[in-house]
Structures are given as C-alpha cells and as structure tokens.
Amino acid sequence: MASGKLRLGIVQMNTGTDKNRNLDQAAQMVGEAAAQGAQMVVLPEIFNSPYIAHRFPEYAESYPGPSTALLSELARRYRLILVGGSIPERDGGGDLYNTAFTFGPDGDLIGRHRKLHLFDIDIPGKMTFKESATLAPGGDFQVIRHDTLCFAVFICYDVRFPELARLAALQGARLLVIPAAFNRTTGPLHWDLLMRSRALDNQVFVAAASPAFNPQASYGAWGHSMVVDPWGRIQAQAGDEEELLLADLDLSIIDEVRAQIPVFRQRRTDLYELILKSGDS
C-alpha cells in the first residue's frame, strides 16, 4: 500500500437464516481473496444474517462476539484489512445498530461505523422497509487511517447523503467503502448512479459490496458489487450471483484527476462550507 497500489477484494456472498453457514461462507471467500493477493477485503451489509428488520434482534451480537472474533482472526491470519460488511450490533444499553467493524492486519479493531441514516422507505406497491423499527442510528463519523491508506466506511442508505462523502474526502479519505444491500426496486435505477456519483463528486475510489441475490429470500438484494475510479468509471463489477470480485486500485490516479479538474481548490468557501458537528475525525 505504500506504493499507492491496493489489491481489493469484494465478497458478494449469499446470506441466509443459518448464521454459522454465513460465517463459514464469509471465511471461505475471504481466504480465496487473500490467496489471490487481496490486501483489503470487503464483506456485504448484514453478512451474518438475513436482511429482515424484525429478525435483527435474533442475530444481534455485542462487541466482541462470534462474528467480530471471526473477522479479527481472518484479518490477522491473512495479514489484510478486513471491512466486515455489517452486522446487527447490540450495545451495552440494549440498543441495536447496523454496524461495520473494520480490522487491521494485526487483528486489531481500527474502525467502527454505525449506520447513520436508517432505511425507512415506502414505495407503494413495490417496497416498504423500516429499519428504525428495530435499529437506532449511529452518531459518530470516522475516517480510518492505516499505514498510508485513508478511507471511510458508510453503510448502504448513507450513500444517498452526499454531505457525508464530501466530509470524508475533505478529511483525506481516498477510498469510500460501502457495504450495501440495495433491493430489486431501487438497485436497477440507483445503484450504479449513486456509486459513480460519489466517486466523481469527490474524486475518490468507491468500493460497494452487496450480498448476492437469493431468490428464496423475502428481501432480494440487487448484487452488482462494484469498484468505481475517481473519473466515475466502473473499474470492476459483479453480476447478481455469488462472486468474488477483485480489482487493483492505483491511488495515484486521484492526484492526477484533482490536478486536471481542481474542484477542491475551486470550492467557494467564502460562500459555503461543510462542518462536522460531532463524532470522530
């Protein structure tokens, strides 16, 4: 990573009602990514349970717990950065969160992002979902710095709020990692558009990790995990079935893009500004 090159693996895996099977599948696919030279691996949103809001309490774990213990062990075993998608997390006060835990090559926890924007939507005749029925929103913002790599992790619906991505870029993030489980209604319309927009707006790489489409599940994930470069070009993309996606990121491209189209230097901070009011930086 010191050279500005990063081999990234995205695990687009099937998830079901058997937590142990989900964890075993994640471990197997992380191992496959490591065998192919991945230095960072990303799992999908809610990778250890079905994406069913009323069942999140059944699968929720406190930290540390079985799922995070596995993530830590995998990161240490394969000497890589592991963004553990997300899991339902129970805190000491009893609240539940949709949380992404990130572990470094020593197995140490280097980042925890609790989903800030809960997915409460109602599209008549197509999709109704209310995460807030069981989950609480996170309250912290974090940019993760490890070695020479600076990145931020958001979860799914967070990507629809462009202020968050810009805050991360202003604080040095050169990669946005987005575990997400878009559905079969919004996915075809918005998945590519949103991921490309966040990359283009902020002249960063975006890595989006989705579960695979499970036709037996009540919530069908869109799939199509992807990597987007700072020009807004799709560098690599999966289909909707289970797949390990690999991409080689040349982070030096970011400086070239920003030199050619210097939007960060040309911002009118005399007219507008973006302020982080709370949380880690």
* Mean pLDDT for the stretch of residues 142-170: 97
Per residue in 102-145, pLDDT tens?
999 999 999 999 999 998 878 787 777 788 889 999 999 999 99
The total number of residues shown for the chain amounts to 281
Considering the candidates 19, 115, 131, 150, report the single residue annotated as catalytic: 115
Is 150 annotated as catalytic?
A: no
**HSE, side-chain direction, 13 A CA sphere, residue 198:** 35
Confidence of residue 96 (pLDDT cuts 50, 70, 90): very high
* Mean pLDDT for the stretch of residues 60-82: 98
Tell me what pLDDT residue 215 has.
87
Contacts with 219 (C-beta within 8 Å, 6 or more apart), sequence order: 50, 51, 52, 129, 181, 183
Is 242 annotated as catalytic?
A: no
Residue that wins the pLDDT comparison between 183 and 120: 183
Of 95-99, 265-269, 273-277, where does mean pLDDT reach its minimum?
273-277
Considering the candidates 45, 89, 131, 243, report the single residue annotated as catalytic: 45
* Mean pLDDT for the stretch of residues 203-231: 95
Of 8-17, 131-140, 262-271, where does mean pLDDT reach its minimum?
131-140
Considering the candidates 61, 131, 156, 243, report the single residue annotated as catalytic: 156
CA dihedral over 58, 59, 62, 66, signed as positive or negative:
positive
Which pairs from 23-30 meet CB under 8 Å and 24+ separation?
Answer: 23/48, 23/66, 23/67, 23/70, 26/70, 26/85, 27/70, 27/74, 29/244, 30/74, 30/78, 30/82
Is 130 annotated as catalytic?
A: no
Per residue in 240-259, pLDDT tens?
999 999 999 999 999 999 99
The pLDDT of residue 271 is above 80: yes
Tell me what pLDDT residue 126 has.
73
The pLDDT of residue 22 is above 60: yes
Tell me what pLDDT residue 85 has.
97
* Angle formed at CA 20 by CA 221 and CA 241, multiple of 5 degrees: 30
Tell me what pLDDT residue 219 has.
86
> pLDDT above 70 covers what percent of the chain?
97
* Mean pLDDT for the stretch of residues 63-85: 98
